[in-house]
Structure 1
Amino acid sequence: MYGCDNGRKPAVEGWWATIICQNGTWSHTPQCIDEQACIPLDIPNGKYKKSPKGLYDNKQSIYIKCDKGYESKNRDATAICSNGTWTSVPVCERSIETCGEPPKIPHAVIIHQEYQELFAADSEVQYECEDGYSVEGGGTKDSITCMSGNWTEGPKCQRGTHLGTRDGGVTPGSGIQPAGRGLSPISGSNEKGSISSFTTVNHCGAYPIVPNGDVVKDDPMFLKYQCNSFYKRVGPDIVRCHSEGSWSQLPICQEAYCTMDLAQNPVDGVKLSGVEYVTEGETKYIRCIWRAYSSRVKCISGELIYTQCCHYDDHQRGVCS
């Protein structure tokens, strides 16, 4: 243990400090600093600009910035070094408008989201339904928003009738059409419905182009297509090469979005900069000029349906129209 001369103190908590001999080396080098200086603060869930010299002079103040999802208790964000002691040390506490982990939704996964414990107000999390499932109104994606400490209602992924899925007992990517559907995966004679008529994709040459769609899986025996954002697929996602050199039926990517442009169509009380795009069947909450108020908008058959500005509680109770 060691102490410091009059007018100075150890560069650690307390007037006495300890160093430990560990495998022939001391744990740290004793340092005595001005007794009116302050050592760095440890602020859970917060940060501040560090001093280049590692210490803070008497009367020096620092501003604490709380991490995302936290806020300063009693709006006190400043700490002051006073005669070697920090006064009014800020506390970063969880914001009442912060949301915890997004809810788990059956047959849906969260996409494009890094793991985090807390989500700040107005954070948005997007879900995508599993293969063979879709949200009410069409499409496979929908999102939820953190409002006043709670998540808005999430999508409901329902069993669909997509080609190439397990629906109707079809094996994914098999190219076999469910009985009774009346569709053939390729054009031409009836004999081309059998698996034996397909061969490797390189036999058909250049990959076919699907406007507003891309190949997301390149397998020696098939190509899997996916439509770009704001477009929905009509037809099979799996395309195969027939032994005679022709491609099976291609998917079509149709427009599936609405545009919200307040410059063209103002909505009373809604706060929005720029243009907001809403995918078909997707529900979004657009902020209003009043705190905790928003308008619920949804794209249905290319038409944007929206409510008046309502409080979050009214949205939850379903009384907002």
Structure 2
Amino acid sequence: MFYSFHFYCIYHLINMKSSLTLLCLVVWLNVDASSAQTEIEGACINPPVMNGFIVQSNERNVDPRKRKIYYSCNVGFKPSTGGWWGEATCTEGTWSGILECIAQGIICDPPPKVENAIVEIPYQNKYIEGFEVNYECRKSFEIEGLKKLTCENGNWTTPPPTCKPSCPDPPSIENGDFIKEKRDDKGVITELYYQCSRQYTLSFTGSIRCQNGKWPSPPKCLRPCEISTFDAEYNLQNLSKKDYTTHNEKKTLQCKEGYYHIYRLFVWNIVEIEVKCDDGEMQYEDHKPICSHLYS
């Protein structure tokens, strides 16, 4: 026969702010390697405790037919005999005392689970009246709604929040950059205004906003047109070596003196030709702006 001891620790909520009291009991166990307690006639077997659990408290050389136990209750319950833990005694296999934990006030079921969120307390099966829980969203998500819920009258006071994806880094654009931004209270960029490099034109003005963690397509910087690409034999006058016109801009070209351009069928003697820039490409009517017809 030999002896050993174990520590059993229990905790209890002692106020509405969830402070904890820790109780540790030193338990001596009398262990007989040659026989088991259950094999002794009239031995006291641990009884079940409704809504609680047992903390053994045998003294040395205790008779297995005469035992005393202490029991504690789950969160939100307390022994029916009062206090923070209860006790019961056993004689010849029969227990005396009430082994039951009753609800302490009105109890709430566990708070709703929120996708991509965690509750900042250990998860429990029951919560007592006045207990508060706080939700926090995981990384790359932002909370929407009230983050704090309170157990009142058996229910949680408000609907749970939701966790939305937060905005990723804003999209960049070729030949431009964003010049103005708006941020939320966490410093995350949620709205952008863009500007193009010199001679480039935005495909649309205004801002873009991040919604549900996604950015819409940003504007494009449309290319200018280079007028000087027309060959010399086009017989156009007053062209510089490199003349640019921006997207959507119109420009009037003129034929050299003594030349004209047949612009459409049955329309002739045209000496002025209107062209328009479209994202780096010159647009014109039916024919290229070539002044190839000499006045007779």
- Fold in common (TM above 0.5): no
TM-score by length of 1: 0.34
TM-score by length of 2: 0.37
Task: From the two aligned structures, give the one with the greater helix fraction.
Answer: 1
Task: From the two aligned structures, give the one with the greater strand fraction.
Answer: 2
